[in-house]
Amino acid sequence: MAKVKGAIVIDVERCKGCCVCIPACPQDVIQIVKEVNGKGYQYAFPANHDACTGCINCAIVCPDGVITVYRVKVES
Amino acid sequence: MGDLKLMKGNEAVAEAAIRAGVDGYFGYPITPQSEVLEHLMANKPYETTGMVVLQAESEVAAINMVYGGASCGRMVMTSSSSPGISLKQEGISYLAGSELPALIVNVVRGGPGLGDIQPSQGDYFQATKGGGHGDYRMYVLAPSSVQEMYDFVKIAFDKAFKYRNPSMILSDGAIGQMMEKVEISEQTPRRTPEEIEKQCPWATVGKPTNRQRNIITSLYLDPYVQEKHVLKIKAKYERMQKEDVLYEKIKCDDAEYILVAYGSSARIAQKTVDIARKQGIKLGLFRPITLFPFPSKELFEVSKHLKGALAVELSTGQMVEDVKLAVECKIPVYHFGRYGGVIHTPVEIFNEFKSKFLGGI
Amino acid sequence: MDINEIIKPENLVYKKTKLFTEKPLSYCPGCGHGTTHRLILEVIEEMGIVSDTIGIAPVGCAVLAYEFMDIDMQQAAHGRAPALATAVKRLMPNKFVFTYQGDGDLAAIGTAETIHACNRGENITMIFINNGIYGMTGGQMAPTTLPGMKTSTSPFGRDVRIMGNPLKITELLANLPGTYYVTRQAVHTPNAVRKAKKAIRNAFEYQKLNKGVSFVEVVSNCNSGWKMTPNDANKWMEENMFPFYPLGDIKVPQLEKA
């Protein structure tokens, strides 16, 4: 059966660390890092990337549009 | 020669707008200028030239409709009278700040406040010194006949587009309401969308793929950028002063004294000149047609061989300040006003002139 | 499977619309303005109407909307966007015209322009961001501030006996004959975003019909003004704003109902 695997790319320099993407993710993929970006924001990071299904929920709620999403079908 | 028609000044403005190929008029009724909107509605230019005519919910809405239409490079205008023009001031400031061409017609009535509905020139300061907030001016034309009410519509739009700056026709209740013979011009077709985009590459008409987006705004948060913007606008006003001053000299060449008057006051003052000349007094009339830019240099030239000047205006003394500045205090300048909607008679101007300059009546 | 094997152009399923300019949004972290901007731009891009669209920015937090949207835009005086839109649409009836306004702009200072543009049935789209507060000026009471809600000018909570009642302007506008489509949406969860986008798409599509104003209210957060984290603000919004400003269609075209 086919399984979907996803990946997200976060433009960390434009991320404001608002965390709205975190509850939007059904797989708990995203966390906020301790470091800050050039603007001084702690930014989002796909800490649990393996669980990502590429559902785009995080990307569509992101107010700053910093998340790009990729998805593939993998035969298991 | 075009067709002759007997019209009110306000109707002449409306007819001129149609004939000049104006794209949109947005107004709100107020006496003594409601005939502008009435004439447009009665003549239905939206069925002939395609001109948009809309009665707005307020003067504020009307001037902001003008702002929206001007932002699209369209020839748009509004008209009102003093209290309504006060309401439009924010919008006019935005037009100037965003560098938009537009025409505002003010058929001035007595004030301050609600005042009355008789002719006045009490809005001179408001019209020529900015009026709204911020550092700007309008190109201000003062007609003194119904024909000029008609003709100045085209001039006002030409200058508005030349400078990307709002123009004003500063009329009054007398010129707006009086009926005179007017020579009507041929119908100028409205510009096509292609012509508008060519003439106004800055217009917001939808961004095609071959240019950057257009933005109409008056907001520059960086003070250094704002300063640059103000300097750009200031340069326009200096250019107006050089290139587009209009005035009329009547019997000024041999005059020893002059009256300085504009609009309806100039009509009355002209009669005073006739009275004086009959008595052998060398009196002339200098009539500024553009109130901004004020014909300062031209008036200064005239004043060189004068003994004095009397500013005649329907206000407590507004234009007289520009007259004094123009003659650089080299000759005595006095002011004679009537107020609140009362107009001068030629004889009382003559008497005032004599008492000021010839030692009594 | 290695993440880098997934991140390839052929596997792309979502990226920010190219109608966003390069300029970073000036909004506070977590603010719904950014999401709403994006939805509008996505709709314009998907409909292929960039060259036919004119947007009108308000005064308020979204005053700089034109900095972020790569389309032709005008910046209106406070509250006057519907007047600008009226003229733009009447002078260019084949274009798509939208206003983007906050609650102070649309429901306080611009109430007359809003109501009359809606009542005349101007064929425009109005996007109304309602976060119950003046964000730009630092969190003062808005016409839509809830009873009891604390703001900098109602520091002990909005006392309706003194400060008057919040204005449900969207319901009011739905009663006018000139509105064709009136809906209230939100953009704080993936589901809400999907619905809001559909509503904005509808609103733009309806302009083709010449039937009147299509009006989309977006109940949004103002975490800075409300003094909460973005996620707490979203939760507070669900618990307090939505009961007073319930989401959903308020007026739908008769054709669709049938």
- Asked whether the beta carbons of residue C95 and residue B206 sit closer than 8 angstroms, the reply is yes
Mean pLDDT over A67-75 rounds to: 94
Q: Count CB-CB contacts under 10 A for residue B6.
A: 10
d(CA B169, CA B252): 25
- Displacement of CA B200 from its chain's centroid (Å): 24
Closest to B85 measured CA to CA, from B44, B43, B134, B128: B128
Chain centre to alpha carbon of residue C225: 18
Supply the pLDDT for residue B2: 82
* pLDDT-wise least confident of A1-10, B151-160, C225-234: A1-10
Chains that touch C (3 or more CB pairs under 8 A): A, B
Residue C141: CB partners within 8 Å, gap ≥ 6? Answer: C133, C134, C151, C152, C153, C154, C158, C163
Answer yes or no: are the C-beta atoms of A8 and A39 closer than 8 Å: no
How many Å apart are CA B204 and CA C231, to the nearest integer? 38
Number of domains making up chain C: 1
Q: How confident is the model at residue B206 (pLDDT cuts 50, 70, 90)?
A: very high
Collect all residues with Cβ–Cβ distance below 8 Å to B56 and sequence separation of at least 6.
Answer: B26, B27, B28, B62, B65, C83, C116
Of the candidates C97, C108, C119, the residue with the CA atom closest to the CA atom of residue C203: C97
Residue B360 confidence (pLDDT) above 90: no
Sign (positive or negative) of CA dihedral C6, C9, C12, C14: positive
The pair of structure tokens assigned to C132 is 């119950």
C256: confidence class by pLDDT, cuts 50, 70, 90: low
Q: Which residue of A has its CA nearest to C31?
A: A63
Distance between CA atoms of residues B217 and C105, nearest Å: 17
CA distance C72 to chain A (A): 21
pLDDT value at B350 more than 70: yes
- Contact (CB, 8 A) for C167 and C106: no
Neighbours of chain B (3+ CB pairs under 8 A): C
Chains A and B touch (3+ CB pairs under 8 A): no
Residue spans of the domains in chain B: they are: 4-194, 248-357
**Tens-digit pLDDT profile for residues C180-217:** 999 999 999 999 999 999 999 999 999 999 999 999 99
Average pLDDT over residues B321-348: 97
Nearest to C212 by CA among C157, C252, C256: C252
**Which one of 3.40.50.920, 3.40.630.30, 3.30.750.200, 3.90.850.10 gives the CATH number of domain B248-357?**
3.40.50.920
Q: How far is B361 from chain C (nearest CA, A)?
A: 55
C79 within some domain: yes
Chain center to CA of B113: 21
Closest alpha carbon within chain B to C58: B217
**Mean pLDDT, rounded, for C90-115:** 98
In chain B, the residue whose alpha carbon lies closest to the alpha carbon of C118 is B57
Burial class of residue C9 in the structure, from the number of CB atoms within 10 Å of its CB (0-12 exposed, 13-18 middle, 19+ buried): exposed
State how far the Cα of C198 lies from the Cα of C42, in Å rounded to an integer.
11
| Percent of chain C scoring above 70 in pLDDT | 98
Where does A18-75 show beta strands of DSSP type E? 30-36, 42-46, 67-75
Per residue in B37-71, pLDDT (tens digit) is 999 999 999 999 999 999 999 999 999 999 999 99
Task: Please tell me which of the candidates C56, C69, C91 has its beta carbon nearest to residue B74.
Answer: C91
Contact C117, C176 (CB under 8 A): no
Output the domain CATH number for residue C74. 3.40.50.970
Residue in chain C lying closest to A64 (CA): C34
Q: For residue C257, is pLDDT > 70?
A: no
> In the predicted model, what is the mean pLDDT of residues C61-79?
97
pLDDT, one tens digit per residue, over C2-25 is 899 999 999 999 999 999 999 999
Backbone φ/ψ region at C100: left (φ over 0), alpha (ψ -120 to 50), beta: beta
Provide residues of B within 8 Å CB-CB of chain C.
23-24, 26, 52, 54, 56-58, 60-62, 64-69, 71-72, 74, 76, 90-91, 94, 98, 193, 204-209, 213-219
Asked if B4-194 and B248-357 have one fold, the answer is yes
The rounded mean pLDDT for chain C is 97
Q: Quick one: pLDDT band at residue A34, thresholds 50, 70, 90?
A: very high
Domain map (residue ranges) of chain A: 2-75
Give residue-wise pLDDT tens across range C139-184. 999 999 999 999 999 999 999 999 999 999 999 999 999 999 999 9
pLDDT at B361 over 60: no
Amino acid at C41: L
Which residues does chain C have within 8 Å of residue A22's beta carbon, measured at their own beta carbons?
231
What's the mean pLDDT when you consider all of chain A? 96
* C47 contacts chain B (CB < 8 A): no
Q: What's the rounded mean pLDDT across residues C227-242?
A: 98
Nearest CB to C6; choose among A60, A64, A72: A72
The reply to whether C10 falls in a domain is no
Are B106 and B170 in contact by the 8 Å Cβ rule? The answer is yes
Render pLDDT for B241-293 as a digit per residue (tens, 0 to 9). 999 999 999 999 999 999 999 999 999 999 999 999 999 999 999 999 999 99
CATH of A2-75, one of 1.20.1050.10, 3.40.50.150, 2.30.140.10, 3.30.70.20: 3.30.70.20
- For A56, the closest of C8, C11, C13 (CB atoms) is C13
- The answer to whether C85 and C101 have CB atoms below 8 angstroms apart is no
Q: Domain range spanning residue C166?
A: 28-252
Looking at domain B4-194, its CATH superfamily turns out to be: Thiamin diphosphate (ThDP)-binding fold, Pyr/PP domains (3.40.50.970)
- Which structure tokens are listed for B25? 């008029």
Q: Yes or no: say if B331 and B356 are a contact pair by the CB < 8 Å rule.
A: no
Domain assignment of residue C127, yes or no = yes
What whole-number distance in Å separates Cα of residue B260 and Cα of residue B170? 16
Residue A76 pLDDT > 70, yes or no?
A: no
- DSSP 8-state class, residue A49: G
**pLDDT number for residue C189:** 98
Span A43-53, mean pLDDT? Answer: 96
pLDDT at C258 over 70: no
